[in-house]
Structure 1
């Protein structure tokens, strides 16, 4: 460019024929090019490689509301036989906030909606495995409106990966799998959601070192340990961005983790009763960031392990990027909250803060339907009984297939699966009274402190004490000590341990089946399922 300008200038001054005078205008234009071209080259470099450092300082116009509202797909794209998510009840609250319970149904903390399953209508294109009856009956027509995102890691337990692929995401051909590296997730592809942050500027040193270590290690050599947790918090905001970009016309965005089990029939029933054009953020409440002069205000976020849901309106407001005065998009939400992520322990916490701070969307807690407990840890009772179960956390690999087979054998026309059904039909908790190498009294437990109390004499004495105690539903005998529990739950395997001798090292659990069966009979859920109303007061 510069050599051409030099030749051109020489031609004008000396070139053929009569010499041409050089005008002041040309001299000005010539100098302007010499100044402008290097400036543009430098500006272009910064725009390409350092845009996030520039965009934070650009002034922005007001939001274009039109960008936030083409969320509901055109009705012409909905199969005529289904038309899901279009019949919200009149008593559904419009927005989260005060007064949402006033004048609604019976004034209680739940609705008793008469919901309908959308399972059971065979669809030859329903899944990646058309020979599976469960997938043949899966309502895949809903997936244009529900975008599911699974968050995992390249070093996740292989048995958990296999379990997810054969159950929870088996019938979801469009599931979006995000990870900390590009890799195969069984027969699916997982996307490294961190690679365009960029990782070297976005992460702290130890997290970035582990990120690079995974990049340079074969899948067979990966260490399946807790180091993967260092990368987890960085995935939340970018996975929401990517999910919206992948399916911008979805009505709902459902996010789950690799140890989450989702009961899809109950999830679809729930979403069918809410308007996705309102800013809904559903999940199990956990305490998060505080703010205000003395930290008097607290943000509640949806615990990631229990899964969470964003409506199209909420997700759109979060990822929306305003345009500056020259029409360029503004800073990404991942850049906007970069320092917050570095300072916080957890990505689900920062997601809740970003939704509140940027999008003015607060959590609508739906505990216990979104459940932070594992399958064996659910404490059945007043809080966990007539409520539909939507999610389970920390699901053991061996439990996925059992749950899947049980769920798909359930007659969905009877209604949604309740916690009551989980106890009576899946666990059959009222049918056995003893289990070896098992602990069922590690929560909501109590005991007699006197070392010589009769209940500590033997397993049989412990059982008799539980039967006499009106609060006790189950117990564990270990170390010549009787531990009673008010809860009704399965408990978990426990190997012998402790400074004891012989059989006293064993954990032996028992249940008062008479009390449990009496509770079941006295609480039949006759009024219908308890679809709990949004609340952060009701929490784990």
Structure 2
């Protein structure tokens, strides 16, 4: 029989095949959709590099000496890892001093760069700007700031941190890279931090063990801008091959380490970490991001409430002041777990500071701002602000000051905030039953999630 139609016996298998293909495609799509926003990660079940302290020491009512912690660091662990600290001259006896007593107490070989050369105990502080050629400063008014610092320090004056001194920061990055390579070119890894950076050493050692220093790597926490770069305060990590490609050839007729800015005019540039990224880009090296493991927050400002920043290990944090340094170091020394420090661990150490309502406390809210001048009744007093938060399903925290109510989509521990010069009180609070739901949703981390490189 000749017919323009397909026999029913043939139509049914074809329809079934189409249905099966559609089902498989739909399942594949749903699987991909369910992981949107979740960063790919690896699970590694391995022994720690730094063992916890003995129970007797950890549970002592007396302060624990850093020597006890340092004794548990593997011998020679810093033979292939160079830690480099960048500071401003006024930080030498404040932030740097705290770094040396606590977080960097166990670092056997530390390089420190500043805008003034001096000796601090057993540590020599190198002047990153000392070798810059006059042509590198030509027409630059910021050189006057450098000269003033040299004169003041030579006279024994006490320097205070200022925006003027901060202007010199961007000029240190490239000379510092040059000088570091000259002094420590045999190392595998170069970790550049600042005086208020905190590094979780065991996590750093575990992470670097899975990377190849013979690959040209430039890693950090991305700052997404027109020219993406690694945030300097969170920590910048370069492999040996990466740093070698940057500094060789040094450029021009420059024979002394630290004498050039590689042809960049820094006068009009914002930040040295941004210029460093540009210099590396000219060598064919792009940023490999590892946020949130390399992090720009400190315990009080970490944003909880979303899927990330929970099971991820923390490699570094920033804006960690002298008090924070002491508290975090002592908490680490009393920690019994052999697992990597994760954001969940950090949360558990800080959760007791979260309250349904606190006066003189800011939760650093990010979300909606309701102002009295715009007619929002919720800005009139704290109770109204709290009710406004309860009415928003996404709101975890609220904060009230005179004429303003702020609602937050994330959870932050926060910090003390005393009345301003006008006597304005800061009253904040947390919707505790939503915190309980958040904790239930996140659950307990059975394993640390070592995130893979973020999009470049």
The question of whether the paired residues in 1 share the 8 Å contact of 2:353 and 2:413 is answered with yes
Query: Which of 435, 453, 456 lines up with 1:534 in the alignment?
Result: 453
1:299 and 2:227 matched: yes
Q: Which moved more, 1:389-398 or 1:249-258?
A: 389-398
Radius of gyration: which is bigger?
1
Q: Which residue of 2 aligns with 1:399?
A: 324
Alignment of 1:37-52 (within 5 A): none
The question of whether the paired residues in 2 share the 8 Å contact of 1:423 and 1:429 is answered with no
1:339 and 2:264 matched: yes
Query: Which of 352, 356, 363 lines up with 2:277 in the alignment?
Result: 352
TM-score normalised over the length of structure 1: 0.69
User: For 1:132 and 1:332, how far apart are their aligned partners in 2?
Assistant: 35
Look up the SS of the partner of 2:304 in the other structure. Answer: coil
Query: Which of 74, 93, 117 lines up with 2:48 in the alignment?
Result: 117
Query: Which ranges of 4 or more aligned residues in structure 1 deviate by more than 4 Å?
Result: 328-334, 448-454
Alignment of 1:410-429 (within 5 A): 410-413=335-338, 415-429=339-353
Q: What do the CA deviations read for 1:497-527 (whole angstroms, capped 9, x no partner)?
A: 487xx7xx21011112221122112212545
Alignment of 1:201-240 (within 5 A): 201-202=136-137, 204-218=139-153, 219-240=156-177
Q: What do the CA deviations read for 1:168-208 (whole angstroms, capped 9, x no partner)?
A: 21111211001111113354210112111235743653321
User: For 2:140 and 2:376, how far apart are their aligned partners in 1?
Assistant: 55
Query: Which of 504, 510, 513 lines up with 2:429 in the alignment?
Result: 510
Q: What do the CA deviations read for 1:39-81 (whole angstroms, capped 9, x no partner)?
A: xxxxxxxxxxxxxxxxxxxxxxxxxxxxxxxxxxxxxxxxxxx
Provide structure 2 residue ranges, at least 5 long, that are not aligned to the other structure. Answer: 1-37, 54-63
Q: Which residue of 2 aligns with 1:459?
A: 382
Q: Which residue of 1 aligns with 2:243?
A: 315
- Give the C-alpha shift of residue 348 in structure 1: 0.7
Q: Which residue of 2 aligns with 1:28?
A: none
Provide structure 1 residue ranges, at least 5 long, that are not aligned to the other structure. Answer: 1-106, 123-128, 289-297
Alignment of 1:22-41 (within 5 A): none
User: For 1:304 and 1:211, how far apart are their aligned partners in 2?
Assistant: 21
Look up the SS of the partner of 2:196 in the other structure. Answer: coil
1:281 and 2:214 matched: no
- Give the C-alpha shift of residue 285 in structure 1: 0.9
User: For 1:471 and 1:334, how far apart are their aligned partners in 2?
Assistant: 53
Look up the SS of the partner of 2:167 in the other structure. Answer: helix
User: For 1:116 and 1:137, how far apart are their aligned partners in 2?
Assistant: 13
- Give the C-alpha shift of residue 405 in structure 1: 0.5
Look up the SS of the partner of 1:245 in the other structure. Answer: helix
1:490 and 2:427 matched: no
TM-score normalised over the length of structure 2: 0.81
Look up the SS of the partner of 1:206 in the other structure. Answer: coil
User: For 1:164 and 1:387, how far apart are their aligned partners in 2?
Assistant: 24
Q: Which residue of 2 aligns with 1:153?
A: 88
The question of whether the paired residues in 1 share the 8 Å contact of 2:98 and 2:322 is answered with yes
Q: Which residue of 2 aligns with 1:365?
A: 289
The question of whether the paired residues in 2 share the 8 Å contact of 1:257 and 1:307 is answered with yes
The question of whether the paired residues in 2 share the 8 Å contact of 1:112 and 1:527 is answered with no
- Give the C-alpha shift of residue 223 in structure 1: 3.7
- Give the C-alpha shift of residue 397 in structure 1: 1.9
Q: What do the CA deviations read for 1:17-59 (whole angstroms, capped 9, x no partner)?
A: xxxxxxxxxxxxxxxxxxxxxxxxxxxxxxxxxxxxxxxxxxx
